[in-house]
A = this chain, B = another copy of it.
Amino acid sequence: MAKQKLIIVIVGGVAGGASAATRARRCNEQADIILLEKDEDVSFANCGMPYHIGGEIPDRSKLLVATKELLERRFRLDVRTQSEAVRIDRQAKNVIVRRVKDGSEYAQPYDKLILSPGAAPFVPTMDGTDAKGVFTLRNIADMDRIRAAVDQAPPTARHAVVIGAGFIGLEMVEQLVGRGFAVSLAELQPQILPPMDPEMVAPLQDDMRSRGVTLELGSGIRGITTDPAGNATGVELLNGKTLAGSLIILGMGVRPNTRLAIEAGLEIGKTGGIATNTYCQSSDPDIYAVGDAAEYLTAPLGQSMRVALAGPANRAGRLAGQHAATGTSAKMAAVLGTAIVRVFEYAVGMTGLSAKAATRAGLRFRCVTVVAGQHAGYFPGATPITLKLIYAADDGRVLGAQAIGKDGVDKRIDVIATAMAFNATVRELAGLDLSYAPPYGSAKDPVHQAAFAACNQLDGLGDLLDPDADLSGYQVVDVRTAAEITKAPLTGCTAVIAIPVDELRERLHELDASQPTVVSCGVGLRGHVAQRILKQHGFASVANLSGGATLRRRAVQ
A interface vs B, CB < 8 Å? 15, 25-30, 45, 47-48, 51, 56-57, 62-63, 65, 70, 73-76, 167, 309-315, 318, 330-342, 347, 349, 351, 376-380, 410-411, 413-415, 417-419, 421-422, 424, 427-428, 430-441, 443-445, 448, 452, 455, 461, 501-502, 505, 526, 528-529, 532-533, 536-537
Known interface pairs A45-B378, A421-B431; 15 further A-B residue pairs with C-beta atoms within 8 A, sorted by A's residue number: A29-B533, A47-B443, A48-B376, A315-B430, A330-B431, A333-B431, A333-B433, A338-B434, A338-B435, A340-B436, A340-B441, A342-B440, A347-B439, A413-B435, A418-B434
- Chain B's closest residue to A375 (CB) is B410
Which B residues lie within 8 Å of A311 (CB)?
433-434, 436, 443-445
Contact A62 B336 (CB under 8 A): no
Contact A56 B424 (CB under 8 A): no
Contact B435 A349 (CB under 8 A): yes
In-complex Cβ contact of A47 among B339, B437, B501, B532 (8 A): B437
Cβ distance A56 to chain B, nearest Cβ, rounded Å: 6
Contact A433 B421 (CB under 8 A): yes
Cβ distance A543 to chain B, nearest Cβ, rounded Å: 15
Query: How far is it, in angstroms, between the C-alpha of A340 and the C-alpha of B441 when the chains are bound?
Result: 10
In-complex Cβ contact of A26 among B331, B332, B351, B528 (8 A): B528
Closest 10 CB pairs of A and B: A333-B431, A29-B536, A422-B422, A340-B435, A62-B378, A73-B502, A411-B411, A310-B443, A410-B440, A418-B418
In-complex Cβ contact of A529 among B26, B331, B443, B526 (8 A): B26
Query: How far is it, in angstroms, between the C-alpha of A116 and the C-alpha of B507 when the chains are bound?
Result: 33
In-complex Cβ contact of A330 among B15, B25, B427 (8 A): B427
- Chain B's closest residue to A441 (CB) is B410
Which B residues lie within 8 Å of A167 (CB)?
437
In-complex Cβ contact of A378 among B63, B413, B438, B533 (8 A): B63
Cβ distance A414 to chain B, nearest Cβ, rounded Å: 5
- Chain B's closest residue to A416 (CB) is B418
Can you list 25 pairs linking A and B with CB atoms under 8 Å apart?
A25-B532, A26-B528, A26-B532, A29-B537, A47-B436, A48-B378, A57-B380, A65-B377, A65-B378, A70-B502, A309-B436, A310-B436, A311-B433, A311-B434, A311-B443, A315-B444, A330-B427, A333-B431, A336-B433, A338-B434, A338-B435, A339-B437, A340-B441, A414-B414, A421-B422
Contact B433 A428 (CB under 8 A): no
Cβ distance A203 to chain B, nearest Cβ, rounded Å: 18
Query: How far is it, in angstroms, between the C-alpha of A333 and the C-alpha of B426 when the chains are bound?
Result: 13
Which B residues lie within 8 Å of A313 (CB)?
443
- Chain B's closest residue to A167 (CB) is B437
